[in-house]
Structure 1
Amino acid sequence: MEIILVPGFWLDASSWSEVTPPLVDAGHRVTPLTLPGLESVDAPRAGIGLRDHIDAVTAVVDMADGPVVLVGHSGGGAIIHGVLDARPERVARAIYVDSGPLGEGGVINDELPAEGDGIPLPPWDLFDDADLVDMDAGLRGMFRNRAIPQPKGVACDKQHLQDERRYNVPATVIVCEFPSAMLHEWMAAGSPFTAELARMKDVEYVDLPTGHWPQFTRPAELGAAILAAVEQTADATGAR
Structure 2
Amino acid sequence: MTDVAPARPGPAPRVVLVPGFWLGAWAWDDVAPHLAAAGLDPVALTLPGLEPDHPDRGSVTLEDQVCAIEDALTGGADGVATVLVAHSGAAAAATVALDRHVDEVAHVVWVDTAPASDGFVMNPDVEGPEYPLAVQWDEEMAQGSMRGLTDEQLAAFRQRAVPQPAASLRDRVALTSPRRLDVPSTIVCTAFPAAEYRSYAEQGVPFLAGLLEYRALELVDLPTGHWPMWSEPERLAAVIADRVPRGAR
Q: Same fold (TM over 0.5)?
A: yes
Q: Which residue in the other structure is 1:207 paired with? A: 221
Q: 1:8 aligns with which of 20, 27, 33?
A: 20
Partner Cα separation in structure 1 for residue 129 and residue 207 of structure 2: 27
Q: Which residue in the other structure is 2:119 paired with? A: 105
Q: 2:101 aligns with which of 62, 87, 106?
A: 87
CA RMSD of aligned residues (A): 2.0
Deviation at 1:42, TM superposition (A): 4.5
Deviation at 1:79, TM superposition (A): 1.8
Q: Return 116-125 or 96-105, whichever deviates more.
A: 116-125
**Contiguous gaps of at least 5 residues in structure 2:** 1-12
Q: Which residue in the other structure is 1:19 paired with? A: 31
Q: Secondary structure at the match of 2:175?
A: coil
Deviation at 1:62, TM superposition (A): 1.4
Q: Which residue in the other structure is 2:49 paired with? A: 37
Q: TM-score, normalised by structure 1?
A: 0.89
CA shift digits 1:86-122 (9 cap, x unpaired): 111111011000111111111223456x6x4222111
**In the alignment, structure 1 residue 175 sits paired with structure 2 residue 189:** yes
**In the alignment, structure 1 residue 125 sits paired with structure 2 residue 137:** yes
The answer on whether the counterparts of 2:113 and 2:208 sit within 8 Å (CA) in structure 1 is: no
Matches within 5 A, 1:142-157: 142-157=156-171
Matches within 5 A, 1:134-149: 134-149=148-163
Q: Which amino acid aligns with 2:248?
A: A
Q: Which residue in the other structure is 2:234 paired with? A: 220
Partner Cα separation in structure 2 for residue 152 and residue 188 of structure 1: 28
The answer on whether the counterparts of 1:80 and 1:94 sit within 8 Å (CA) in structure 2 is: no
Deviation at 1:126, TM superposition (A): 7.5
Q: Secondary structure at the match of 1:104?
A: coil
Partner Cα separation in structure 2 for residue 93 and residue 194 of structure 1: 19
Partner Cα separation in structure 2 for residue 180 and residue 128 of structure 1: 21
Q: TM-score, normalised by structure 2?
A: 0.86
Partner Cα separation in structure 1 for residue 20 and residue 208 of structure 2: 19
Q: Which amino acid aligns with 1:203?
A: L
The answer on whether the counterparts of 1:95 and 1:172 sit within 8 Å (CA) in structure 2 is: yes
| Identical-residue share of aligned pairs (%) | 36
Partner Cα separation in structure 2 for residue 127 and residue 61 of structure 1: 39
Deviation at 1:212, TM superposition (A): 0.9
The answer on whether the counterparts of 2:124 and 2:170 sit within 8 Å (CA) in structure 1 is: yes
Q: Return 125-134 or 56-65, whichever deviates more.
A: 125-134
The answer on whether the counterparts of 1:71 and 1:77 sit within 8 Å (CA) in structure 2 is: no
CA shift digits 1:122-154 (9 cap, x unpaired): 133379632122234322211000111111111
The answer on whether the counterparts of 1:41 and 1:149 sit within 8 Å (CA) in structure 2 is: no
Q: 1:239 aligns with which of 235, 243, 248?
A: 248
Q: Secondary structure at the match of 1:159?
A: coil
Q: Secondary structure at the match of 1:124?
A: coil
**In the alignment, structure 1 residue 57 sits paired with structure 2 residue 69:** yes
Q: Which residue in the other structure is 2:5 paired with? A: none
CA shift digits 1:205-228 (9 cap, x unpaired): 111111111112221221122122
**Contiguous gaps of at least 5 residues in structure 1:** none
Q: Secondary structure at the match of 2:90?
A: helix
Partner Cα separation in structure 1 for residue 49 and residue 201 of structure 2: 34
The answer on whether the counterparts of 1:41 and 1:148 sit within 8 Å (CA) in structure 2 is: no
Partner Cα separation in structure 2 for residue 193 and residue 117 of structure 1: 22
Partner Cα separation in structure 2 for residue 239 and residue 203 of structure 1: 20
